[in-house]
Structure 1
């Protein structure tokens, strides 16, 4: 099925205020589409945060935002789906659905219904080779991690392409090769969050 009707999601840039804030900025876009205009800076304040390193263990991105979101001068990484879903539920309650682990087909079903999708993908929008990854010791055990992590909001797709709002490069409906994008998305464990219209 060729699908080129793009969902109109307001574009919000993470820069200059949030150099590492792609996840909360993408959430701000999702909330804005839902009719809730919440400043990205407010979401940055409200997201659960964990230290970059404590007692010899690195922070885990599913426990909260790891390290410093505001500056590259100090260590920081990002956050995964769980803290973002929790923060989204603060505003939208049980309308929020964490689809993490789902098949790509489920993502396309959401887009078909006019539902934008918050996702985590590699920052190169493709599969990343081993050289870009390292292993962290966390409170939950070993975690394979890369600093080339990015969050975007999917707004459309067709046979060969996905389209998304990119908070870092500030591009609305950015087109990228679909197979490459899916490969990068899968490397982060199929992370995806939507909201269902009330």
Structure 2
């Protein structure tokens, strides 16, 4: 009996020692985890599974990836009608260029009818010491008299856009765009009214005056034409002043004048 009792005491002692060692080990691990921030007994993180329609690296849910930009042809040419500004509108190149654009679109309107509808800035001219001190602003409406009966200047894209928009709901103001965007219009079948100079050279003489909406600096060499074609080294324009159709111009020279006149351009899409 004493033997059995001694065996039980021995086993109890062994289990007690093992229990103490285990508890000490767990306590040590927990203490280490607390001090280091590492969790030995944390569950493994679940695998990340993207639910159907959830955002991923390709973009937001439901959005189609952007379509690749199609290559632009090396050259393109449109057969747009040519309309002359003379003799009725010696200073009306802009509205006549717009007439050509609208005629190509399919609007049967003449230059004089559109001239009557074009926005005008009626601000009278005021001279001081032989120079223009105060006049209208071409982005408000046509400044001066396009018929030549008195001093005329011109109209810029912002004011002329309203006439285009009245006939073409999908009118597009490309002013300030890269010329690549203008050429793509031609490649897609849409001519473009662009601002340049009468002699297609960068102007040497600039003038300035004050207007009801602030001062302006410009040139009386300002001119507008209808861009109808391009290739790698040239552009082709319908010039309302000379009456030339698909008039060939050096591209670099033309770009210099287009840039000098503020990269103004009007067109449309379908």
1:80 paired with 2:156, answer yes
2:262 aligned partner? 189
2:93 aligned partner? 22
Q: Which structure: larger Rg?
A: 2
How far off its partner does 1:54 sit?
5.3
1:176 paired with 2:249, answer yes
Matches within 5 A, 1:35-46: 35-46=106-117
User: After alignment, is 117-126 or 46-55 more displaced?
Assistant: 46-55
Quote the Cα distance in structure 2 between the aligned partners of 1:156 and 1:181: 13
1:48 aligned to which of 119, 122, 129: 119
Contact 1:52/1:76, CA 8 A, preserved across alignment:
no
RMSD: 1.5
TM-score, length-scaled by structure 1? 0.92
The alpha-carbon distance between structure 1 residues 52 and 179, as it changes in their structure 2 partners (threshold 3 A), is farther
Higher strand share: 1
1:64 aligned partner? 141
1:167 paired with 2:240, answer yes
Flag the structure with more relative contact order, 1 or 2, with Cα contacts below 8 A and sequence separation at least 6: 1
Contact 1:28/1:37, CA 8 A, preserved across alignment:
no
Quote the Cα distance in structure 2 between the aligned partners of 1:144 and 1:21: 20
Unaligned runs of 5+ in 1: none
How far off its partner does 1:58 sit?
1.1
Count of aligned positions: 193
User: After alignment, is 45-54 or 162-171 more displaced?
Assistant: 45-54
TM-score, length-scaled by structure 2? 0.68
